[in-house]
A and B are shown apart, each in its own frame.
Chain A
């Protein structure tokens, strides 16, 4: 398989996943805000912090209300992580490999991208936002399903799953990091009843609430949620699960020594950790460490498979 093709598949999958994650994050937040007591002002800007594009946001927006944040995260083409920009990037990557991916998947990507751009005004309005984002999530899930059901499960599919799961693992850490730090900065006693719904919202951002209930069979509490989201083996958006998916893909690929070594290191790090015991400061540091590992794995995959160069002896 050509390196260029592998790289395009990988990025296509990452961008589709990114669009979906961002859409989920906004929908769950919108829902949470409605349940918060009137005395609490929710900081929408936290969502921008999760995506890591705070500087870009500050340069272009003065207000930090929901409208500005949603516009930035959904419809701002200047933001490389926005929903429409992610979908557009996914489409551009897919376009160059149209002869590799199944035709109907390409059509769905194309259609989703055009529809999201075409109905953007709906997505930016308070009334239309929920449906718009739900439709977007459904659209990305359709693509994922089509690819699973119609594409050869060959090296190309391994790169697809690798891209998706690295992006997913990354997003999971971001959501845990920012959300747990900003849940309720100071926790006055009269807000205690709301702690529960906020951890629920963390789970829901990752569509993990139902699965948490089934798996953990305990109330929604910080230590258990952290354990679940970092270490669960079966929940698709748990960090550990996503990393294991990447590992299984890499095992199928040639010349996998370098990337596999890194991924097994990371697996060990996560399974040996005790996330439920971490203080807020330690948690933040832990997340930083995991993200550094993910970045390193990405670099290693990229160097091994995407930037194949002449060996020193044959260098022209």
Chain B
């Protein structure tokens, strides 16, 4: 007699190749990590058909929930694409996460103190911890912000720091995004999808929830309102529907109950207060969660050609009549050269050692380090100081000779603008590819809110490179995402 389930099981962990790298779920040899055991057990018992049905259910949920990101088509009109999503979650044990969380809080605190110091006394420069040359060459230092004291002394209210693991499993901070970090809406939506696809696993294990982010975000924003109101007027400022993160802007506005505004909806009066144009008339705005870059914020103060901004906004902000999150000028710390000084900042401002290490970074501005970089271009990753989204990088080991020569020229021409790091072999996690699982590289972007208290998302957005062997996780370049589970296996 045939067994009842005679069809093929999709996942055989014994055959899963960890390739000598650190895998988030598997130790190798078919043995799962402790926190991932319940998941691996569950997946092992799913047949091909069941696994595909789960995948289809996730895809349907994504379509129904309207999770999209925007890409640009040739006609200039934008198209929304469904967000590529892998149904196998990434798991981190709560015990490990606790220390990562402490490290992120420490980092955000030091970064905010650093920004505040730079726009006031510049003690860190005077005490020779942070070189004046680096500050002088910073593209995101805003002279307009000197002497301004935003509420609570906080500049970067929302920070997204990218974490990676090397092949030994050690966690490093790869970069800090302090301008307009995005991705948190996908973290929230991924969880909603997973609850629909694997409800039984959420009952079985203690998977910590992520859903309180919107209310934390609202509290963080409301706390910096210049008017002490029970319900200050908070708005989300978006560049508009053609921005690739528009979905997130609309989503967050809706989640925190804020109006989603564009620059043309706002106006600054000669009382230097900000108002929004509404059918009720002009309504005073207290807090702006802005999702447009500094340079486009206010055509009077920055780029006069900006159509996205609000004339006079900086005036209103400087007078303390409106709060901006993140504050203008916060991006000064969103610089890969400044990044390399974060461990020193932590020691300088907090008198603590950094809990989370940086990736080893060579500054091309320093002659000795520059020579080292130029001599080892075939082994290093070279990044411009101020780009994001994986643009303008050289991945030395994969580059052609001509590309390396080109970068050598760029570095010699503008050494301040380049840093180099060893090529990390990022950790992997099992990812559904067709009808089986394969390891794919990933990173993690937790979000840190700084206000009266510091809050870190439970986990964050796990971004995964869907192409075999690729370490580029950006959604614009073929990346997808996974849900991130912080699992309390001791408590369970």
Contacts and interface: CB of A to CB of B under 8 A. Distances in A.
Given A3-B265, A99-B250, A314 B277 contact: no
Contact of B280 (A103, A159, A255, A310): A255
Interface in B271-298: 271, 275-282
B304 interface: no
Contact of B279 (A96, A305, A315): A305
A316 B268 CA distance: 7
- Interface residues of A, dominant DSSP: loop
A4 B250 contact: no
Contacts of B279: 1-3, 6, 155, 159, 253-255, 305, 308
B241 interface: yes
A1 B281 contact: no
Nearest to A155: B279
A95 B241 contact: yes
Contact of B276 (A2, A95, A311, A315): A2
Contacts of A254: 279-281
Contacts of A96: 240-241
A185 to B, nearest CB: 46
Contacts, number: 64
A4 B265 contact: yes
B260 A99 contact: yes
Interface in B244-285: 250, 253-254, 259-262, 264-265, 267-271, 275-282
- B262, B267, B277, B312: residue with the most chain A Cβ atoms closer than 10 Å: B277
Interface string B374-415: 000000000000000000000000000000000000000000
Contact of B282 (A155, A159, A308): A308
A103 B241 CA distance: 15
Interface string A148-191: 00000001000100000000000000000000000000000000
Size category, B interface: 20 to 34
A308 B267 CA distance: 10
B66 interface: yes
Contacts of B240: 96
Given A99-B254, A308-B282, A3 B268 contact: no
A98 interface: yes
A2 B269 contact: no
Contacts of B276: 2
Interface residues of A, number: 23
Contact of A316 (B250, B259, B264, B312): B312
A273 B245 CA distance: 55
A159 B277 CA distance: 16
A314 B265 contact: no
Nearest to B268: A316
Given A99-B254, A316-B270, A4 B262 contact: yes
Given A99-B253, A99-B254, A99-B260, A1 B269 contact: no
Given A2-B276, A155-B279, A253-B279, A314 B250 contact: no
Nearest to A159: B279
A12 to B, nearest CB: 14
Contacts of A305: 279
A310 B267 contact: yes
A306 to B, nearest CB: 8
Interface string A88-125: 00000001101100010000000000000000000000
A95 B80 CA distance: 12
A6 B276 CA distance: 13
A262 B357 CA distance: 69
Interface string A291-311: 000000000000001001111
A302 B279 CA distance: 10
B126 to A, nearest CB: 39
A311 B268 CA distance: 12
Contacts of A308: 277-279, 281-282
A2 B277 contact: yes
Nearest to A4: B265
B264 A4 contact: yes
Interface in A10-66: none
A255 B278 CA distance: 11
Given A2-B278, A99-B250, A254-B279, A310 B269 contact: yes
Contacts of B271: 314
B253 A3 contact: no
- A6, A98, A309: residue with the most chain B Cβ atoms closer than 10 Å: A98
Contacts of B311: 316
Contacts of B259: 2
A4 B281 contact: no
A109 to B, nearest CB: 14
Contacts of B254: 99
Nearest to B65: A103
B94 to A, nearest CB: 35
Contacts of B269: 310, 314-316
Contacts of A6: 279
B327 to A, nearest CB: 23
Interface string B407-426: 00000000000000000000
Contact of A315 (B66, B253, B264, B270): B270
- A96, A99, A305, A311: residue with the most chain B Cβ atoms closer than 10 Å: A99
B369 to A, nearest CB: 48
Contacts of A309: 267, 277
A1 B267 CA distance: 16
Nearest to B282: A308
A98 B282 contact: no
Contacts of A253: 279
B162 to A, nearest CB: 28
Contacts of A315: 269-270
Given A2-B261, A2-B265, A96-B241, A310 B275 contact: yes
Given A99-B260, A310-B269, A316-B268, A4 B277 contact: yes
B273 to A, nearest CB: 8
- B264, B268, B279: residue with the most chain A Cβ atoms closer than 10 Å: B279
A153 to B, nearest CB: 15
Contacts of B312: 316
Contacts of A95: 241
A3 B270 contact: no
A141 to B, nearest CB: 24
Interface in B98-124: none
- A1, A155, A309, A314: residue with the most chain B Cβ atoms closer than 10 Å: A314
Contact of B278 (A3, A311, A314, A316): A3
Contacts of A3: 265, 277-279
Nearest to A158: B279
The 8 A-B residue pairs with the shortest CB-CB distance, nearest first, are A308-B277, A314-B269, A99-B250, A3-B277, A305-B279, A316-B270, A254-B280, A6-B279
9 contacts: A2-B259, A2-B278, A98-B250, A99-B250, A308-B278, A310-B275, A310-B282, A311-B282, A316-B312
Given A6-B279, A96-B241, A155-B279, 20 more contacts: A2-B259, A2-B261, A2-B276, A3-B265, A95-B241, A96-B240, A98-B241, A99-B254, A255-B281, A308-B277, A308-B281, A308-B282, A310-B267, A310-B275, A311-B282, A314-B269, A314-B271, A316-B267, A316-B269, A316-B312
